[in-house]
Chain A
Amino acid sequence: MKEKNVLKMEFPSLSANEGLSRGVVSVFASQLDPTLSELGDIKTAVSEAVTNCIVHAYPDCIGMIYLRCRILEGDELEITVKDKGRGIKDVKKAREPLFTTGGSDRSGMGFTIMESFMDYIRVRSKENVGTTVTMRRKIEKRASVK
């Protein structure tokens, strides 16, 4: 798949970086001229993936989070969020709605939201090695109003 633009950033798993990361992705995505609603979906999916690194991958330490955004051919935005944290034992189970290991502070809806707000999601994980979440969303061409 041909890459038309790319942005990479890495940052420590501090919760203050949740807002920062979805803000950066939103600005990057703006070059595809998304609607407000598409932008809202993308920001939400990024927030879910980054929060999972902060809460679950590095539960009692600060680790690095690696985020990459790409514009692919056909006006598709791809977002990859990677951590080198504790990993997920059973990815299939983790992706079920309401499944959480986080107790009453979590809703268990993160993966469900990423799945329904994006066109594609892939989760690769290995225990004690880390997790990589890749998501894609096609941005519809809009007739320009002039």
Chain B
Amino acid sequence: MKVTWQKKKNKLYIYLNGELDHHEAGETVKRIEELIERETPRDCVIDLENLGFMDSSGIAVILKAYRQISAMGGRLCIENVQQQPMRVLDASGIERIIGFTALK
């Protein structure tokens, strides 16, 4: 998993590249946590355009980022989700609290 990022105005864009499973989850959580802490954005976007696979371990990663950014009064959204990760996000029901867009 490669985590890259970019800050535009007050928004932090985090790009996840690779596959997000339990093996990758620990490091990914740490990277996202550090980035949000250091960049203190208002809102955060996690971009999944280059995430080819995710399982339920990824749901926990996203929920942690959501809690962190919410505690700072900001919003999290997930963009450019590929087909397989979208199936997992749909099954998890977290679209009730976090907004998503599919990869076009």
Contacts and interface: CB of A to CB of B under 8 A. Distances in A.
A113 to B, nearest CB: 5
B88 A44 contact: yes
Q: Secondary structure at chain B's binding surface: helix, strand, loop or mixed?
A: helix
A54 B87 CA distance: 23
A92 to B, nearest CB: 19
Given A37-B83, A40-B84, A117-B87, A107 B22 contact: no
Most chain B CB within a 10 A radius of its CB, from A37, A51, A97: A51
Interface in B79-96: 83-84, 87-88, 91-93
A112 B59 CA distance: 13
Contacts of A105: 25-26, 57, 60
B23 interface: yes
Most chain A CB within a 10 A radius of its CB, from B22, B23, B88, B93: B22
A54 B55 CA distance: 14
Interface stretch (A4-12, A14-22, A127-135, A136-144): A14-22
B63 interface: yes
